[in-house]
Structure 1
Amino acid sequence: MEKTVNNKVNLQEQVRKLKEQKNAVILAHYYQEPEIQEVADFIGDSLELAKKAAQTTADIIVFAGVHFMAETAKILNPSKKVLLPDLKAGCSLADSCPPDAFRKLKEKYPDHAVVTYINCSAEIKTLSDIVCTSSNAERIINSIPKEKPIIFAPDKNLGRYLMEKTGRKMLLWDGACIVHEAFSLDKLLEVYKQHPSAMIIAHPESEDHILKVANYVGSTSGMLHYVKSSEHDTFIVATEAGILYQMQKDVPHKTLIPAPAKEDNTCACSECAFMKMNTLQKLYNCLKNEDPEIILEKELMEKAHKPIKKMMELS
């Protein structure tokens, strides 16, 4: 056990040294392993990290997250080197929206404004009028004239939630995040019976039956803020379990319970296998070797930048 700790501490120290030597910045999503969050310069949700990526003066950006996030950082910083610890760290939601199929849908409805959730590929972003995150999606939808019909992709659960919140009817792409669709309502209610004073908080990527029983629905950063500012002391958290590390740091005196997944697994919670593909060792290797690097064509980056820029202006 001692050897593992020493390895971790040593690797973290090497990562910090390399960051300084190479003028690199590490951006990490809340769903990353704690040992990665500990060496990150910025930890956040998709919107916060997109803003940090746009503002950074570093020469190298290491994105400890998934592929579409690193792509977004590259689109916002075309002249900088953007690295991802594991190129296979994809996203089930982004994969659920193939560009060719989405292009065909868009061609069928040429009068529709296309709003895409940031959890999509760079190519899907080039087919969008504006991008959104779960933090700003309601504001983005409300910014579009009421008479303008909307295609919303790729997350049908977030889309349904936004239709309810904004009163706008939208044409929804049939995509979803396997992590947020893995929560079991029956198991959740069993946990709630054991903790009847608990507040249930959920990410809007979750299915409708989970959102209906939630006391609070919001983005990753919104959930963190809610737990910090709430007078309650027990929370059942329906999002990827990686958020619990930062959340517990913010509220060490409160009780946090991960919402249970349908499948039996070791943590009895819902984890994103793609997010967990990044490890501290891979982070060190990628910073040391400056590889794997995110490479995108110039024309694609220019097209994808426009809907992201629109989002940033509204955020």
Structure 2
Amino acid sequence: MALSARCTFSSTWKPATSPGRLQRSLPIKTRARRLHIAAAAVSQAVTQELTAPAAALRSIATQLGATHNAKEQLQLLMKCAEKLRGLPGQARTWSNRVMGCTAQVWVTAELDAAGRVVFAADSDSRLTQGLAFLLEDSLSGLTPDEVAEVNVTALSELGIDPHLLTPSRSNSFLTLLQAMRKRATLLGSGAQLASFPSLIISARETVPVGAFAEAQARYLNPDQTTVDALVRALTSKRIGVVAHFYMDPQVQGVLTSAAAHWPHIRISDSLVMADAAVRMAEAGCTSVAVLGVDFMSENVRAILDEAGHTNVQVYRMAADDIGCSLAEAAESEAYAQYLAEAAKDPHPGLHVVYINTSLRTKALSHAVVPTITCTSSNVVQTVLQGFAQIPDLHVWYGPDSYMGANLAQLFTALAQSSDDDVAALHPSHTVESVRKLLPRLHHFAEGICVVHHMFGSEVTNLVRRAYPDAHLAAHFEVPGEMFSLAMEAKRQRDAGVVGSTQNILDFIGAKLSDALQHRFPERVQVILGTDAEGGCASCPFMKMNTLKALMRVCELVSTPGEALLVAQQPRTYTQQVGARSMASVGCEPILHMRGFQKTGKLPPALEADVIARGNSRS
């Protein structure tokens, strides 16, 4: 069973109460209808087929579309609000609240004797009441399956003036629609759908639901004795610790608490791990413990050497290989053939290689095709800048097949959007330039992480059915199904994010900040379709990074027993690639990325290399 996770953040948290049943009935529509509505601010990349509004909306759509006068349209929506029967006070509960709206909105759903859904909605905003009436009147009388299948297209179909229907109101409208779909699905299933491990976090408490969530909650309250012992060992021997985000929750909890007393502890992505190690060496740390897989410790060792800190020792957490299926895919014969094809292409070529690969891969790749490293947070900008900077460039991305396919999907959507949307992402591009680069973007088709593979159709279908009103977060490395779902939520109601772990954390923080600005208690529900929440943290290799292993390293450092740690030192790759060491060549793609991050442009040396090798083949 694939795993995901659900987090709910509450500005004020209360136990849900059971809604009272609706004491009214509405006329039952005998004809199945679909309501196709979305925010006016939604990207034009949404290409779903448009159909006519539901029958009950046709007269209103005609009246709204007859004028672009926002004042007259407001008056019409106010009349709709008067038709909304509303909900009694006892039905205005947490369980009936529609979270994520700029006003307070409530909705209930029940089945009538014929098995059709009867909705009732209410709001503390008159305009939202008018919009709620449109949905309530149009969807009541459909079967649960018909409501659940309602598609989302464009609110502009109703002809509402954009000055009246602001993006925030549009998002509220769509969130209400998704909440109604969710309730219809639950009614149709006859039982509660399966749920994900959840953490409900409020100012007062954290409530875990499920075994994995309970482990995550323990991360917030680590054993103080263990924390103190670790701090003493690190401080007395001046050992720095760099750990990847995808650690076991217990390990992260202890490290986070220890960092309050010993500043040379950093939990981050793989690139920042190496940067942090350099700063630790500059601050006087004589050893660095790396909690991650082998390519991470190799990168730390190589960057320390490039920075002149060859005397600082680097230790992994095991003598055995701490592998990664994705990194190993880049060392396969298939990947070598992929790069060989790139090298034969007569056009200028740039190999964009994911940071999650070995130093050996980076070195051998760079010897074949000019190479720059990327992370999930900068891959989009790296690729777009390459196309903008070098005419006729072909980009060869690898080895993560999911990330490559997701890049292609993202750019395909951009090619169907607007120049303003494209410019917001990269000012040197337009819809036309993005459309032209699509045939020149290549990605490796045989490289997957066995853990990321879990986030496929089974999980996605559950999210789509049970949580259509939640915020969705998807890492660039997850399969296309989850990525597409988060993209859809982002386009339709500004409730999704796709990107790196840091992008996801920033998104959640921003949504929580928005909720805290509301004049009423709010919840932010986020589905985390990413490897940190049950994915890479569950990887058997990542699980080799234990607190026991870290304490053993600390005990042996600066003692005669430190010789026992030789087998835990990362590979240094002393082989030659041409006239240079493999480590030196392997660092060059990383340094190219550092240059890109500083200036926003491919470094001159890389650009010249791409053009020169391209000219030699043409």
Alignment partner, residue 190 of structure 1: 462
TM-fit CA distance, 1:102:
3.2
Change (3 A) 1:29 1:273: same
How do 1:288-303 and structure 2 match up within 5 A?
288-290=555-557, 291=565, 292-298=568-574, 299-303=581-585
Q: 1:241 to 1:151 in 2, by over 3 A?
A: closer
SS of 2:453's equivalent? coil
Q: 2:272 pairs with 42, 48, 53, which one?
A: 48
Please give the alpha-carbon distance, in whole angstroms, between the structure 1 residues aligned to 2:291 and 2:506. Answer: 22
What stretches of structure 2 of length at least 5 have no aligned partner? 1-218, 257-264, 412-433, 487-495, 515-522, 558-564, 575-580, 598-618
User: In 2, distance between residues paired with 1:314 and 1:284?
Assistant: 38
Question: TM-score, normalized by length of structure 2?
Answer: 0.43
What does the per-residue CA deviation read over 1:117-174, in whole Å, with 9 as the maximum and x for residues that have no partner? Answer: 0111111111231100101111211232251212211101111222334444333222
Secondary structure of the corresponding residue to residue 39 of structure 1: helix
- Equivalences for residues 4-15 of structure 1 within 5 A: 9-15=224-230
Structure 1 pair 218–287 and aligned structure 2 pair: CA distance change class (3 A): same
AA at the equivalent of 2:272: E
Q: Following superposition of structure 1 onto structure 2, how do residues 196-207 of structure 1 map, counting pairs within 5 Å?
A: 196-207=468-479
Q: Residue 143 of structure 1 aligns to which amino acid in structure 2?
A: Q
After superposition, the Cα gap between the structure-2 partners of 1:142 and 1:59, relative to the gap in structure 1 and judged at 3 Å, is farther
% identical equivalent positions: 26
C-alpha contact (below 8 Å) 2:456/2:480 kept by paired residues: no
The CA deviation at 1:101 is: 4.6
Q: Larger deviation: 185-194 or 83-92?
A: 185-194
Q: Which amino acid aligns with 2:317?
A: P
Where do 5+ consecutive residues of structure 1 fail to align?
243-257, 262-268
1:137 to 379, 382, 407: 379
In 2: Cα distance, 1:195 partner to 1:164 partner: 23
Q: What's the secondary structure of 1:77's corresponding residue?
A: helix
Which residue type is aligned with residue 294 of structure 1?
P
The count of residues paired between Structure 1 and Structure 2 equals 286
Aligned equivalent of 1:217? 498
Aligned to 2:335, which of 102, 106, 117?
A: 102
Aligned to 1:148: 393
Q: CA deviation at 1:76?
A: 0.4
Aligned counterpart for 2:355 among listed residues 118, 131, 134: 118
Which residue number in structure 1 is paired with residue 441 of structure 2?
170
Give 2:238's aligned residue.
23
Question: 1 or 2 for the larger relative contact order (CA 8 Å, sep ≥6)?
Answer: 1
1:42-79 deviations in Å (ceiling 9; x for gaps): 11122332332343322211111111111111110121
What secondary structure is seen at the aligned counterpart in 2 of 1:109? Answer: helix
Structure (1 or 2) with the larger CA radius of gyration? 2
Q: Is the 8 A contact 2:360 2:573 kept in 1?
A: no
CA RMSD of aligned residues (A): 2.5
CA distance in 1, matches of 2:408, 2:456: 23
Please give the alpha-carbon distance, in whole angstroms, between the structure 2 residues aligned to 1:95 and 1:193. 36
Partner of 1:82: 314
List 4+ stretches of structure 1 deviating above 6 A.
none
| Structure 2 counterpart of 1:278 | 545
Q: TM-score, normalised by structure 1?
A: 0.82
Aligned to 1:248: none
Q: Is the 8 A contact 1:23 1:60 kept in 2?
A: yes
Query: Does structure 1 retain, via aligned residues, the 8 Å contact 2:288–2:313?
Result: yes
Structure-1 residue corresponding to 2:509: 228
Counterpart Cα distance in 2 of 1:277 and 1:143: 38
Query: Offset of 1:22 from its aligned partner?
Result: 2.3
